[in-house]
Amino acid sequence: MTGKAELKLDGKTLTLPTVVGSENEVGIDVTNLRKETGAITLDPGYGNTGSCESAITFIDGEKGILRYRGYDIAELAEKSNFIETAYLLIYGELPDHVQLEEFSSLLTENQMLHEGMRFHFESFPPTAHPMAILSAMINAASSYHPNIIHKREERFPYHAARLMSQVRTIAAFSHRKAQGLPVIYPKSSLKYTANFLHMMFSHPGEDYELKPELIRALDLIFLLHADHEQNCSTSTVRMVASSRANLFASASAGVCALWGPLHGGANQAVLEMLEQIHDEGDDGSKFLAAVKDKTTDRRLMGFGHRVYKNFDPRALIIKEQCDKVLSQLHKSDPLLDIAKKLEQIALKDDYFVSRKLYPNVDFYSGIIMRAIGIPLDMFTVMFAIGRMPGWIANYKEVMEDPNSRISRPRQIYTGSTLRNYTPMEARG
């Protein structure tokens, strides 16, 4: 590794330093490119641009590797849980008994919403999408805690716990609102994921039956989605944070970015595809034939990934959990049968194999959430709850970086050159 790169521009050679990551990733530092040459880089979608240096998550898409703070995702999925993993992401190390107890206690202490928030929920129409409510209510929640807005750093553990804890309360309340049901308050005796299911599905005087296999499955979905490097929503959180906006405002922006169907809506699109195949009386065979036919508009959802060029490591984990949930519930699902058929055909068909279209995490997570009873329009909300620790960790990293600057991308202007104003009467 030479530690430098050379760029030739208009007959001149510019030497650029390189930055090498802990996993030997190489980045060319173009910080001074415009200053020294007047030129900028152009990279639509930022697919080849490193926006930051981060110590949180490592992905090797070619090898199918995903690690949180150096820990392989498969090991965390087997041995850890969502709350312990959240602590790891936010604070950098696995907690000891005391640290985990303190973190869990903070989550319990901060799970209740200010009672004034009830009026905000009532102002939304019944047709309001849960992601719209989630984004708005995260911002509204900060209004009841001035220390969040003023970003007092010594209060960060409380702010982080309040956001992580209240996001599931807001999500559950928004679901109850959409269903015309009375809200169910959290119970201090229940742990994070179990409490969420309680708030979602209990009724006054009749608690929801909390089955361990369902709690474990949803906890695993949260864990697998907890962070994923500099994706669209995480990059949005970091960009908003770079302006020194508060934690809740930055997370609210992340929710809006996640809402897009090309990002957080992918697992919903998978289930809609499976339902369409089932409604047509197909087992998936005809659908895949149509996908390969360029004259049709059929698309195979839940296969392939912008980053992974091999199997999404999360998909292997979630597939096994999906099988367990359905067998333990003694519940057959025709959509799962179709999903398995699609997987079997696609993994053997050269059309899909040559294009490296392997199942990703969205392919199976929707089936699990369907089995639990989570409605389709709440799928992206589940994603947001799971991704919250990663957003908080990235926010914290931005705030603690002494070299952090406000994000301000450049552009290549392609509009009109200088023009003179034409009076209205002369425009015809």
- Enter the pTM of the model: 0.93
Which pairs count as long-range contacts for 408-415, CB under 8 Å and 24+ apart, including other chains? 410/34, 410/40, 412/40, 412/42
Q: 273: closest CA among 200, 346, 204, 221? A: 346
Measure the CA–CA gap between 377 and 380, rounded to whole angstroms: 7
Residues recognised as catalytic:
305, 362
Which DSSP category does 330 fall into? T
Q: How far apart are CA 395 and CA 236, in angstroms?
A: 10
Judging by beta carbons within 10 Å of its beta carbon (0-12, 13-18, 19+), is residue 80 exposed, middle or buried?
Answer: buried
| Cross-strand pairs, 59 | 66
pLDDT in tens, 20-48: 999 988 999 999 999 989 999 999 999 89
* Inter-helix orientation angle 212-224/192-201, to 10°: 110
Give dist(CA 225, CA 159) in Å, integer.
Answer: 21
The span from the CA of 222 to the CA of 83, in Å, is: 9
Return the CATH fold of 73-405: Citrate Synthase; domain 1 (1.10.580)
**Which residues of the chain have a pLDDT value below 50?**
none
Domain with CATH 2.20.28 in the chain: 4-65
4-65 fold: Rubrerythrin, domain 2 (2.20.28)
Whether 247 and 160 have beta carbons less than 8 Å apart is answered as yes
What DSSP designation does 331 have?
-
| Among candidate residues 362, 361, 379, 383, the one with its CA nearest the CA of residue 370 | 379
Of 175, 179, 144, nearest to 159 by C-alpha is 144
Residue by residue, DSSP assigns 167-178 as HHHHHHHHHHHH
Which residues are CB-contacts of 271 (< 8 A; sequence separation ≥ 6)?
335, 366, 367, 370, 376, 379
Residue 353's φ and ψ, nearest 5 degrees, are -65, -45
The 65-68 sheet, strands edge to edge: 57-60, 65-68, 71-72
Give the integer Cα–Cα distance in Å for 411 and 104. 45
Please, what is the angle between helix 379-400 and helix 247-258, to 10°? 140
Question: Could you tell me where in the chain the CATH 1.10.580.10 domains are found?
Answer: 73-405
Smallest CA-to-CA distance from 289 within 343, 241, 327, 345 is with 345
Q: Write the DSSP symbol of residue 297.
A: -
Going by C-alpha positions, the residue among 389, 228, 379 that lies closest to residue 307 is 228
Predicted confidence (pLDDT) per residue in 191-243, tens digit: 999 999 999 999 998 999 999 999 999 999 999 999 999 999 999 999 999 99
